[in-house]
Structure 1
Amino acid sequence: MFVPLHDSTPLKVIRFQAVTLVIIVLNILAYLGTGAFTSEAVLTAFAMGWGVVPGELTHLAPIALDYEPVAEPATLVTYQFLHAGWWHLLSNMLFLFVFADNVEDAYGHVSFAFLYLTAGVVAALVYVVLAPRSDMPLVGASGAVSGVLGAYAVLFPKARVWILLFLKLPVRIGAIWVLGGWFVLQVVSWWMDRANPEAGIAWSAHVGGFLAGAGITYVLRRRLWLRLSA
């Protein structure tokens, strides 16, 4: 287990990672504003209402929702801004803060927002496809953040990143090793939990989001590199 601290890649086009910080603020405000941290019952209600519930989205399972503030397709976006706890929120926002600024630099503000949300939607759809009858709600920015990590791995594989390994040891290592190792861990974790898709962590969403971000960025990589070198 590791915690990212800082990377070595400076901004070249934009002056400020405005969209990244807006996303972070929105996630924090959503967590505080919903009161999801006050009790398990409140969290469950908001997760079922604003999160992605596979059986509800696919209509393959009879799931009665007492609280349904938005149509289920809209939860493919709203789930990205609701978290199950402080650690869930802070870990996602830390990864986003460390890696998203350079991806936003390469894409530009508007296109980066589109990439982020698209990766989140793809991540949720992967989760739904693999557990179409589940009543376990999916919440959190992990899928979208995973898309940012995938994009960073394609754009800046040789960047150096400071991480806190095992939460104790500071190490400076290449981004491709950090993010490649992270991705392999998600795949292995998903494979080990594949018989129990409701184990608690949506590893499949992490994998789907990462592949979406990496795939989109790979297709656009020459244009993005040209923007950074202009």
Structure 2
Amino acid sequence: MVPLRDNNPTTITPFITYGIIIANIVVFLYQLSLTPQQLQGFFQIAALVPCQLSSTCPSSPGNSLIPEWMTLITSQFLHGGFLHLAGNMLFLWIFGNNIEDRLGHVKYLIFYLTCGVLAALTQWFFSQNSTIPSLGASGAIAGVLGAYILRFPKAEVLTLIPLGFFLTTVRLPAFFFLGFWFVQQAFYGIASLQTRTNVGMESGGIAYWAHAGGFVFGAILGPLFGLYKRR
């Protein structure tokens, strides 16, 4: 199930959304230039490592190059693989422009980063002693989706659905599509508490609790940032 586009025209050019997408791609290209050992070291520095933020890591001296609180922001621009990056940027490209149009450039940037920080803190709350780096724009984008479902609950999203070897498209209400996405992330977060394999942080840090937390905080902060004001 892949969303293709929405049907809400914007009245401004979404410079911030485009800029965030470009920044994520540039950082990912830098990641590709690193050896596996260098990449692991880079994640330890720039990604959010819960036990470092909690100062409970058993053997790690912690991050001496970037203050731990800064990783709440820098981790938002790291990704664990091409599919991780592509999926996040697809959702941001489709839904971010409408929220930026409603909030304005500056408030949208603050809203986006704040949702990402709060999402990361949500994941940290449930895994304070974890040594696995948590990374990705998913939490911030979940905040965008949380705001979108409030502002455009009846919008239709053209969705690509595979049926065996064939593909078909259907239009699904944003409320249904994003509501299903939220329930799925919350379920995975709950499931991760029941297993020692840490399902909630697959592929080196895709945190389902961050997704769920970002979605909720986006829905809360969106109206406070002026989501319903006419521009």
TM-score normalized by the length of structure 2: 0.90
SS at match of 1:137: coil
Count of aligned residue pairs for this structure pair: 222
User: Structure 1 residue 48: deviation in Å?
Assistant: 1.2
Give the Cα separation in 1 of the matches to 2:162 and 2:184. 14
The aligned counterpart of 1:176 is 175
Distance 1:28 1:57, change over 3 A: same
Give CA-to-partner distance per residue, 1:200-221, whole Å, 9 cap, x none: 131100001111111111445x
The aligned counterpart of 1:94 is 90
Give the Cα separation in 1 of the matches to 2:76 and 2:39. 15
The aligned counterpart of 1:25 is 22
Instruction: Report which stretch shifted further, 58-67 or 112-121.
Output: 58-67
User: Structure 1 residue 129: deviation in Å?
Assistant: 0.7
**Of 151, 158, 176, the match for 2:154:** 158
Identity %: 40
Report matched runs for 1:1-230 at 5 Å.
Answer: 2-12=1-11, 14=12, 16-35=13-32, 39-64=35-60, 68-166=64-162, 168-196=167-195, 198-199=198-199, 200=202, 201-220=206-225, 223-228=226-231
Question: Larger helix proportion, structure 1 or 2?
Answer: 1
Give the Cα separation in 2 of the matches to 1:175 and 1:90. 20
For the 8 Å contact 1:49–1:65, the answer to whether it is kept is: no
For the 8 Å contact 2:156–2:173, the answer to whether it is kept is: yes
Equivalent position amino acid for 1:226 in 2: K
- For the aligned residue pairs, the C-alpha RMSD in angstroms reads 1.9
Equivalent position amino acid for 1:198 in 2: N
For the 8 Å contact 1:117–1:144, the answer to whether it is kept is: yes
Gaps of 5+ in 1: none
Give CA-to-partner distance per residue, 1:74-100, whole Å, 9 cap, x none: 000000001110000010000000000
Give the Cα separation in 2 of the matches to 1:58 and 1:87. 30
SS at match of 2:230: helix
Equivalent position amino acid for 1:139 in 2: L
SS at match of 1:225: coil
Give the Cα separation in 2 of the matches to 1:192 and 1:166. 27
Gaps of 5+ in 2: none
